[in-house]
Structure 1
């Protein structure tokens, strides 16, 4: 049971390792495009904000124009009321003031809407400016991140290559060990051959020694004979047959 648990545990680790390696490779391959897509998403958000800001500004400008129109008309009716009083026509002055009151009512009813539209427009304009600054910063950051990522990937590949060289060194070391093992076996085989052929070698050596001794004896006898012939007054001894 313990063996199975260990087996499946190792299998799970291997599977997770391969999956993570695959994800790393995918991330390496898509990192730059992913970063650039993030910047494009921010730019799309900026375009939407600009559109919203343009609509808000248009609404504010329209309300502001209408608001200012009623303000001007109120001032105009006030001027007419004064003109009527100057002419001594109070009835006409009252009518002018009544119209002025209508314009003032319009101004009051529109004032909150104009202020709200002005605030929304200013807020969106501020957001547009902030988004532009953030996008500029994001583009610079994206360029830096891509460069750093590429450098990190290159450094990792160099490390992996060096790791491969180390593994190759280990393989060469193992091969050298095999070579030494074979050399030892060859030496053992040679030693056994020498032991197995040791008796015949000894016998052959003894015969060679015997032959060498015989030759030495013959050489000594030859030298002695030559010396005796060279000495003066030395007669060769006659060998007589024994009497019967």
Structure 2
């Protein structure tokens, strides 16, 4: 783990989605280690149980559910209490690298539901509490695919461009009310997100590009460092940014 900043989140409640594994787990862990209280949500109960066992229950509330579902959002808000200081929308899914000519409706709709609609709904739900407090920080996990078309399939690429745009919209509309919204754009990260390549054409088109441009795979803790920085007052003057954390992939 990168060096933590003791007490940086003391007295603050942060919601983290996709907290059972990968970047979400690393983010939740770092916030707790820096004194914060985390409401962690994931679709897999066993992952949250393991996180609770590791971190203890005092600073961690867990909610099992799909972030696209209204009842999950209601449960997350209830666990957060009267005030939510930060939100990290980390949960996401891939699209099997399907190109525009091959993407099916089910894949398109599911990818957009998890990667865009879920974060939008949860953001919409927490904004009244943040606006009431006059302060709040939202961090969305975009992707290298929010910056280029050669990092994923059509649905995932479009969804990550969309979440980058939504982030900027939140920053524009609610910045004057004390809300900061930023996004982190990871490259390849060592997580358990499933990323099969189900298209032969995509393999022939994307594969050679990625082989010569993709940097070494990052660890989830490296992304958690960027996310927690954007959630904290250390980035108080940053709003509406899409921060690449991709080992330099975006400059190739």
Q: Do these two structures clear the TM 0.5 threshold for a shared fold by scoring above it? A: no
Structure with more of its chain in helix, by fraction: 1
TM, length-normalised to structure 1: 0.18
Structure with more of its chain in strand, by fraction: 2
Structure exhibiting the larger radius of gyration computed from Cα positions? 1
TM, length-normalised to structure 2: 0.18
